[in-house]
Structure 1
């Protein structure tokens, strides 16, 4: 009977085996034909990072869908490979894609749990799932995964599978692949990782968030201990090596690319250009290497100059009061959170941060910054005006007085501060600050090539991504005058031409029949009589500009401005000469670059070279990169160079703008101690302040104003509100530039003249000046006391020259 039962069980087992085999074969036949081809893995091209580089090759930004940097197996240290194998698939080098023991163990766990809770996947299966299948947890997917893993082992070597796995795997905090993770957590390349660091990374695949060294360091250390233990058991390291690695002090270096913040406006402009040319998907996934014109040292100087200038301007407008006033309970919460942040990154001199007012006396304020004590001397914030410090209780009892100019600052006030010094005991010496409400912009470019060297589009990119260099159209005020004067020079004027600075009135009858008057005036509300063209521009005389503009014709001047590079709409009336047509700073930089470049216009450029993911040059400004000519998918980034004015006109305007710096409204630029040409720009209502200036090697434009237009305040002209940023930037940007004179065309003629008449005088005449003239335009008559001609006035016939 027992024998009979045994035979029956044997037959049942055999039948079950046959049925199971048949089922497996049937399932295999059903799904095998629909599975992806393993051959595609031979050309593994996952999404990788597009990197944007400055002119010295420093990475200033990364654009990606998945932050991944491919590394060949040859670069990966064996201890890192062994760490991952020990942690994820100890039989990796023995099995052929499927580890039946692991699968059986996982199956028991899943049966007990009533669903899939453990995968038992080999590294090969993980690659199959990641690259060829969807990630859902179903038995059907696991079956497909096993088939593909077996096929992969037939086609690929173990080294090739490891290459795929270690470059594809997600390791938390946006890091795909081991190189990105090494940079993320340790600021290293994979070949520089220690055994201890390798074990930390190898512990992440199971649950990157749970074992994050950033957020859960102790969990990461526990997981590291497990990985090291597995490595010992598998014979990859000794007990002593494991103990040494476990004892090693791990320092986590969160990946912070400071350059990204400094160059954010510039890199966003580059990103837009790339997307427009290649499409968003290519830029996000195809790992372009984009070389740009940005000079990192200049960029840092530009950002600092704009921010410091805005802070100084803002202080001139007075203190607006504390950011907020906290209760005692809210103060405790605020300081506890701040303490946690400051322990991760302790404050250093120059940092801007917030603090809570905790006490005060006649000499100093006491401030809490996290768990640190801060001191704020009263005499360090005289700029803030009339402040009254008081307790919380007194503040609540003090009625508001709209007539008072006093600002109440009670205990619990949140103050914006700057660290001036960190004392040995950790306490802080501070200064009072406030975030400016006004905005600023700065752009600098090489006038010969048009390459943009620095760009700051606002006070802080994190708060506002609107790029005021390229997107904000603002009134240029007097900065438009050099364009009108250049047009006049080409119409027969000379720097010595004399014009009467006298009152003028324009009357206009509207469609409604109402008659209006326009009485233009100079900034100082004075009129100066006979004035040379040079003096008119040097001192930015509005009346002189308007009279010149009416004489040469508004349409002529507007078309001339278009030729120089203005693309924004232009007002076709006499207010054009006073800057009534809104333009962008990048347009003004392009126009002034024409003067600096001897009359040749070049368009602003940001990108100098682009390589694809395989290192092939696909775009370049250098024809040498395409010795046989640009082929398919390649393009030469040629800068169109167009002569738009003569070298003589360009030089004369430059020379006139040198006078603006030496004797006029651009006087601050003299601080450079080298030949400089420049012009301030101020609107009548002081809503916009500009300074535009250049040396032979560099043009820079600065602008200051409010996004929601309003007056900058009394006396906040281009000279006061914008020029300091220009000077601060140029001092740093040009310190390695050779001092050069502006190029003088050989055809320029120099003659001694009488500044009052614009006519020739003997060289030894007192008060004579040497003036520059385009060929054939110098005066031929001499000024005699008894026969001095009258000044030109195009609006009073009795004063016209005969």
Structure 2
């Protein structure tokens, strides 16, 4: 009944339902609280796990992380520059990276703003890590299940470019990103934003092997980074993301579209006005390859400079040290030298090659150097590396030693066939002149003018061969020279280089004082925004001859050009407009041909021959043979006609009255026999008797013929001036190069034979 009543009461039913609902809700809340507690606990565990994992990862990676303290001592690879004597850049030396480190003040503000806008617009707000960008990158990476977005700040990019190994920089890796982020956070603690931006601008890659803003500005616009315009800066900033895609040389349209994106970002972040944006977007993309245009005519000179500096500082310093190398190269003289060589010889057509070196006698500075005809094809430098027979151009050194020992140029030797005993079990050394022309007794000065072999071998033997070698060394020949009789006429075991010969003859032009030849004036390096001097050449001379002795040698070498072997086809004084001195030289079988000559301000050597073989230069372009009087002298004259115009006309020194030179009468020197004694004076009576006999005669005067002198006994009297040419016929002077003139016949004066 109770139950029946209870069931029939509606209020009682509602109370029961409420109680059941209340119990259900209580159970649900309890479950929710339990789930929430479990979730919180799981979260805490996850965070702890993540922290522990991070700590563990950091500890695991810490040992391999680069030390930030080393950053300041790590120098970026920088391009070295080579300058000519006028201060113009003529070469850039770099290895993997072409870079010029510059201070932030030398970068136009538009480039700074453009890079910040497109690469890290919150650069001035974060401390090395941009968590907003990291979050955005994380979403992208999770969605793609790979590392697509990096979220890297400029600081992180700097860390990647300076600390991360080259081979790892472009491999996507969470581990590498972790290292970058960790080091960037540390790095910002010890460096200002200005320092970081400056370092970034000197390290970031802009494509086309240009690292840093300065190299990029020069590569793409041929200007300094301080002179960039807004459109140019935006173009460079756009390249950084994908240098290969946005290369303005390869794809100017893509580069322009990317540039406009950068300009849009600059406008969005308030770095430029709408008007500046619109004008920049409307501008065309104009690029200019700002690389040094290498001129083949100076490559041999520059190659010699590179080798010299590498020998002193090492290749790493040369190609990564950011050196500034100031050379002695005169670009005007270098161009003239190359043009003169090319005008006479064409190795590609089978002609022999030629080398030319020109030196300032007063300092030793090498002003021009032709080491071959095509550096791209042949790297061997004939000017510095080719040791060749000097021929008769070496006779000047024998002559110089004679003068140094007080021997007068009027000393005479007999020009004749020589057969010199070389010792037991050795063949005699036979010496003749070209075409076996022997001149009989002849002065030393005329022997030099006519390039007489036999006289100079005898003179060298009298002087002492070792003394001749030492004189050549003092004058400027550094190559090894043997004390052999053949050395007197340029028959050398090792040979000499054109650089050595130009240097040795420059000693005569510099009043007997030898100045060591050099190509590098100074070397500097930018250090803390200042140019630090690493080395500077200070000219230092050593006296080989006195001023008067050098003047006597120069007089003899002038006689060579005025009436000796160098006058057969050229009137050098007329051609170059001033006095010149020099000596021809031709080795046996016409294998090497030289002319080495000078004016007071410039000494120049020219060598002609085949560089890869000892090949006779006969029947070349219609000439029976190439010798010192034609091709080398043709080149020398063509070059000096222009080169001499850079200098005022200056006369050579004359020997002073105090120089005491004596005619040599001992050794192998020729001594002229004394004249016969004068007949005794006749008495008055004898004279009267003679008159009587004369009056009583028929009136016809009979003259008895003189007894002829023995052959070779009658000689010209020694004179103070150079003697006139001998009986050899002399062809008329030709103003055109000998190489374009009719070839000398067998009746022509003989060229050098040594």
Would you call these one fold, judging by a TM-score over 0.5? yes
Is 1:653 aligned to residue 684 of structure 2? no
Distance 1:748 1:617, change over 3 A: farther
Q: Distance in 1 between matches of 2:111 and 2:626?
A: 62
The question of 1:771 aligning with 2:718 is answered no
- List gaps (5 residues or longer) in structure 2: 1-27, 619-623, 664-669, 675-715, 724-754
Report the equivalent of 2:121. 90
Select 2:649's aligned residue among 739, 750, 760. Answer: 739
Q: What is the number of equivalent residue pairs in this alignment?
A: 626
Equivalent in the alignment of 2:243: 208
- The question of whether the paired residues in 2 share the 8 Å contact of 1:441 and 1:702 is answered with yes
1:59 and 2:94 correspond: no
The answer to whether the 8 A contact 2:81-2:322 is kept is yes
| Structure 1 match to 2:438 | 527
- Superposed, 1:43-58 pairs within 5 Å as 45-58=75-88
1:613 partner SS: strand
1:163 is displaced (CA, Å) by 0.4
| Aligned with residue 359 of structure 2, among 441, 445, 452 | 445
Work out the CA distance in 1 between the residues paired with 2:254 and 2:565: 64
Residues 1:477 and 2:388 are matched in the alignment: no
Aligned partners of 2:149 and 2:352: how far apart in 1? 58
User: Match of 1:137?
Assistant: 172
CA distance in 2, matches of 1:516, 1:771: 37
Is the aligned partner of 1:518 residue 2:553?
no
| Alignment partner of 2:228 out of 188, 193, 198 | 193
3-state SS in 2 of match to 1:694: strand
> Among residues 95, 99, 103, which one is paired with 2:130 in the alignment?
99
Using the alignment, how far apart are the partners of 1:676 and 1:281 within structure 2? 45
Q: Does 1:541 find its partner at 2:452? A: yes
Displacement over 6 Å in runs of 4+: 507-510, 756-760, 766-769
RMSD, matched Cα: 3.2
Deviations 1:167-202 (A, max 9, x none): 111212221101011101110111211222112211
1:468 is displaced (CA, Å) by: 1.4
Structure 1 contact 681–690 (Cα < 8 Å) conserved: yes
Q: Does 1:72 align with 2:103?
A: yes
Out of 633, 638, 649, the residue aligned to residue 723 of structure 1 is 633
CA distance in 2, matches of 1:232, 1:179: 25
> Which has the greater radius of gyration?
2
Distance 1:728 1:106, change over 3 A: farther
Query: 594-603 vs 102-111, which deviates more?
Result: 102-111
Partner residue of 2:153?
122
Q: Is 1:606 aligned to residue 556 of structure 2?
A: no
Give the drift of 1:674. Answer: 0.9
Partner SS, residue 596 of structure 2 = strand
Query: Could you tell me whether the CA contact under 8 Å between 1:294 and 1:454 is conserved in 2?
Result: yes
Question: Please, what TM-score do these two structures have when normalized by structure 2?
Answer: 0.76
1:202-281 → structure 2 map (5 Å cutoff): 202-258=237-293, 261-281=296-316
Q: Deviations over 1:90-117 (max 9, x none)?
A: 2223322212232233334434544434
- Counterpart position of 1:310: 345
Distance 1:224 1:482, change over 3 A: same
1:712 to 599, 610, 617: 617
Q: How do residues 328-347 of structure 1 correspond to structure 2 at under 5 angstroms?
A: none
Equivalent residue, structure 2, for 1:289: 324
Determine if contact 2:117/2:265 at 8 Å carries over to the other structure. yes
The answer to whether the 8 A contact 1:594-1:601 is kept is yes
Cα 1:616–1:519 change in 2 (3 A) is closer
Deviation at 1:38, TM superposition (A): 3.8
Shift of 1:437: 5.5
Residue 204 of structure 1 and its aligned partner are, at CA, apart by 1.6
Q: Which has the higher contact order (CA 8 A, sep 6+)?
A: 2
Normalised to the residue count of structure 1, the TM-score between the two structures is 0.72
More strand by share: 1
> Aligned equivalents of 1:574 and 1:490: distance in 2?
20
For 2:287 and 2:650, how far apart are their aligned partners in 1?
49
More helix by share: 2
Q: Larger deviation: 59-68 or 656-665?
A: 59-68
Aligned-partner Cα distance in 1 for 2:360–2:431: 40
Contact 1:59 1:259 in 2 (8 A): no
Unaligned runs of 5+ in 1: 315-433, 622-636, 761-765, 774-802
